[in-house]
């Protein structure tokens, strides 16, 4: 029997071919997913780069830090009251 005939008659050849086909399909799906994900990540980085290149955000009028207790409830009352 020829080598090709023995290979065709054995089931290990068919199993090997099935595994190779599954591996190729999985690799193809992984490449497609990475390509799609890559464009999403690239657009996020582009948005971040544009935000940084725009400079710092404007400061609210008043120039100082916000008050420690803006709601006026709870906490320790001011000294002298």
The DSSP annotation for 9-75 comes to HSHHHHHHHHHHHHHHHHHHHHHHHHHHHHHHHHHHHHHHHHHHHT-SPPPPTT-SPPPS-TT--SS
Q: pLDDT tens for residues 23-81?
A: 999 999 999 988 888 888 888 888 888 888 877 766 666 656 666 665 556 556 666 65
The residue segments making up the domain with residue 33 are 24-54
Is residue 75, in this structure, part of any structural domain at all?
no
Is residue 35, in this structure, part of any structural domain at all?
yes
What distance in Å separates the CA atoms of residue 9 and residue 20, rounded to the nearest whole number? 18
pTM of the full structure:
0.41
- Model pLDDT, residue 62: 61
What total of structural domains would you count in the chain? 1
Structure tokens at 33: 């997913």
């Amino acid at each position: 029997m020829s080598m090709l005939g023995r290979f065709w008659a054995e089931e290990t050849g068919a199993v090997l071919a099935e595994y190779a086909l599954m591996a190729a399909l999985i690799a193809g799906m992984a490449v497609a997913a990475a390509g799609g994900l890559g464009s999403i990540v690239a657009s996020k980085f582009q948005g971040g780069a544009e935000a940084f290149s725009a400079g710092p955000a404007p400061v609210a009028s008043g120039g100082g830090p916000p008050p420690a207790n803006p709601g006026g409830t709870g906490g320790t009352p001011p000294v002298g009251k």
